[in-house]
Structure 1
């Protein structure tokens, strides 16, 4: 008998209890896309599982994905700056209360999945007592109560701040399963002292999402160029850039605005994309500065919406990681305004590593040169993306099979799924060996 709950699954008698955990439903489309991919896997491979969430936006998750959801933090102002005594006391008390809330929630589950997200990195401003502390509570509770915590397709990066690094590394060590969205993430965690020898690397979970019906690039009958999607971000640098955050943001905004203005002056329609609610201020600033009917803002509420927008474009230039993934997944030639190593790694995986531009130093003239070169190679790059997307789909099928084998209670059904996948891989390998 598992403490605090029913018997573990044996022969399908009791549904396995699965929790999903993270800053989900909080306005970040990439995080929610990772959740959607994992829910798709659970519904396909574990349809009898009882699934619920401990997350940042429980109302959104419960409404959109139709699963029970609990608020991640007891204190509702967790991610607001605490400047008054009452808020400081509330935050401190919340950290104590969350120890017991997290433990009680974890104890009710057989498996907890952290779906994707950059949970082992600090490439954006991050305090150790924020999400790193919450992740540590989760993984420590899992180890204490025998609940298998799986960090699935997560991102990691070297962390300079010692308290944050310690919490992240101990969380990773306490997890029962780890996989990463790129090799650099695994290498970063190993460089911080975690043994990653048995961990696997797979494409980002968003590549497992269904691709909406794609539109042809909107090129006119006369052959005039079609629209360009420009994905923007409320970018202020990373965790180590706090002292010059405003300068970084100003340079990013000025360079991106100059680029958008140049496209509009050439007669190119531009669609501004976001990936988080906070990006709206950047969209508003660009629209105000450029003031052209050719520049419009797309309303996107999911990665599916982003994929529809990018599929209809000739070319995409984007900053946010999941803006890039959506464009690459639908096969649209893409240029990355890269703010972290994960963007560079993603572009290299998809064969577009020549088309990265630093988000901290946006040079509009150089960006235009790269953009024009990208468009000249459009047909060739579309073929490359088709091939790379097929490979990503196959690798994610292996990811989900490995996850089932590693953390789910063994039943006749799961054994059959793992054996079928193993046999299919063996057959494919044998066919490749035939001269």
Structure 2
């Protein structure tokens, strides 16, 4: 039989550890369940994806300055021409594949600043090409959220409608797509794909907690609807987080600053400079595995980025979310920590400290809860991958069923 040709698609290899972690989980699934598949990528950082994951990769956008602000006539013309070239490039790439998987990521949301003719347009080209050429496009464990701006909402809605398979990382995402006019009656909800990654050995927590606190920070400027207040939101977030870290240091607690995207580095630098203490250090994590190793050695985690939260919860460490979107609240509720969310848009260092102390008081109980919830998440993801095989690889699923029959 001819090997199945599988493409993976997204802003992969672009510096976001969560996106790359979702890719890693899908590649682990493909290698375990479909080792015969020939896999490559159309992605944001092809050199990084090839070097790290060992698969061929092609650049997502023809115009290399796609995500830089266009101010000169040349760059504006380059972006415009790039839209036309990308339509042809994407169609040609999709046509040569049997299956394309979009692994996780918040591809159907605008909870961070987003232009409709950037990634939403690229996703629409992918799904439309799949429908045109009969290539099965799967949005697997993706995030979605209500979108206010009409062009972005239209592109996202049509992308979802044109996909052959959809599953979501939480019920809020499925509800959001239903409200946008997508028939979700056959769509499944499963935990975030990163919960399928290997879990590192956890450390021995202090009793009572008094050891390292991991603080995951973010270059946070609000959502796509907050552009007018972006700098104000960022300043408030940074000031509140810095004050919280300073208070921990005054209590003698070591603090380890973590990021989840290359763009978060200036926030780390600002906090290090403002607090100026040997008790505050910064980690250089290159993957979700690195983040999990850092968090597994901590007593407690306070984090903003969604996949920082996933990593902390996955290694079973009591976690407090600086929540910037409903997806963070949903994740915390799913894992039994709904009471430990604090709004990233309005960080109140005093209130945050109260919640932090309450979290540590219930540390032992919360670790038991997380252990139970993680077992459930693993079982749900096993079911997700079985469903994915049935939907995208029917021949392989049939062959497997024959092998299993007496």
TM-score (normalised: structure 2): 0.98
In 2, the alpha carbon distance for the partners of 1:62 and 1:231 equals: 28
Looking at structure 2, the residues matched to 390 and 419 of structure 1 have their Cα atoms a distance apart, in angstroms, of: 29
Give distance in 1, aligned partners of 2:168 and 2:248. Answer: 37
Q: Deviations over 1:151-197 (max 9, x none)?
A: 00000000000000000000000000000000000000101111101
Name the SS for the 2:330 alignment partner: helix
Aligned residues: 405
Structure-2 residue corresponding to 1:78: 66
How far apart are residue 410 of structure 1 and its match?
Answer: 1.3
Q: Give 3-state SS (helix, strand or coil) of 2:200's partner.
A: coil
Give the Cα–Cα distance (whole angstroms) in 2 for the partners of residues 361 and 224 of structure 1. Answer: 27
Matched, 1:322 2:310: no
1:212 deviation in Å? 2.0
- The 1:224–1:402 alpha-carbon spacing in structure 2 relative to 1, beyond 3 Å, is closer
Q: Paired residue for 1:9?
A: none
Q: 1:133 aligns with which of 113, 121, 130?
A: 121
Q: Aligned equivalents of 2:52 and 2:218: distance in 1?
A: 24
Cα distance between partner residues in 1 of 2:254 and 2:401:
48
- Are the equivalent residues in 2 in contact too, given 1:401–1:417 (CA < 8 A)? no
Given the superposition, is the C-alpha separation of residues 418 and 227 from structure 1 closer, same or farther in structure 2, using an over 3 Å criterion?
A: farther
Q: Does 1:69 align with 2:52?
A: no
Kept in 2: contact 1:99–1:137 (CA 8 A): yes
Tell me the residue number matched to 1:153: 141
Q: Give the secondary-structure state (helix, strand or coil) at the position aligned to 2:106.
A: coil
Q: Distance in 2 between matches of 1:352 and 1:94?
A: 45
Residue correspondence of structure 1 range 12-411 to structure 2 within 5 A: 13-217=1-205, 219=206, 225-411=210-396
Contact 1:16 1:49 in 2 (8 A): yes
Q: Deviations over 1:117-156 (max 9, x none)?
A: 0000000000000000000000000000000000000000
Structure 1's unaligned 5+ residue stretches are: 1-12, 424-435
User: Using a 3 Å threshold, how does the CA distance of structure 1 residues 20 and 418 change in structure 2: closer, same or farther?
Assistant: farther
Do the aligned partners of residues 137 and 265 (structure 1) sit closer, same or farther apart at CA in structure 2, a change above 3 Å counting?
Answer: same
The 1:406–1:243 alpha-carbon spacing in structure 2 relative to 1, beyond 3 Å, is same
> 8 Å contact 1:229–1:315 — kept in the other structure?
yes
The offset of 1:407, in angstroms, is 1.4
1:415 is aligned, of 384, 388, 398, to 398
Q: Distance between the aligned counterparts of 2:40 and 2:50, measured in 1?
A: 9
Q: CA deviation at 1:408?
A: 1.6
CA distance in 2 between partners of 1:211 and 1:23 (Å): 24
Moved over 4 A (4+): 416-421
Who wins on radius of gyration, i.e. which is larger?
1
Residue deviations 1:357-389 (CA, integer Å, cap 9, x gap): 000000000000000000000000000000000
- Quote the offset at 1:215 in angstroms: 2.4
SS at match of 2:105: coil
Instruction: Report the Cα distance in structure 1 between the residues aligned to 2:229 and 2:202, rounded to whole angstroms.
Output: 41
Judged with a 3 Å threshold, the aligned counterparts in structure 2 of structure 1 residues 406 and 419 are, in CA distance, closer, same or farther, namely: farther
Rounded Cα–Cα distance in structure 2 between residues aligned with 1:401 and 1:246: 45
Question: SS at the partner of 2:42?
Answer: strand
Shift of 1:338: 0.1
Query: 3-state DSSP class of the match of 2:244?
Result: helix
Distance 1:16 1:365, change over 3 A: same
Please tell me whether the aligned partners of residues 405 and 418 of structure 1 are also in contact (alpha carbons under 8 angstroms).
no
Tell me the alpha carbon deviations over residues 328-358 of structure 1, each in whole angstroms, 9 at most, x when there is no partner: 0000000000000000000000000000000
Any stretches of 5+ residues in structure 2 without a counterpart?
Answer: none
Q: Distance in 1 between matches of 2:403 and 2:117?
A: 44
Question: 1:429 maps to which residue?
Answer: none
Match of 2:395, SS state, is coil
Secondary structure, in 3 states, of the residue corresponding to 2:67?
coil
- In 2, are the aligned partners of 1:215 and 1:308 still within 8 Å (CA)? no
> Matches of 1:216 and 1:323 in 2, distance apart?
20
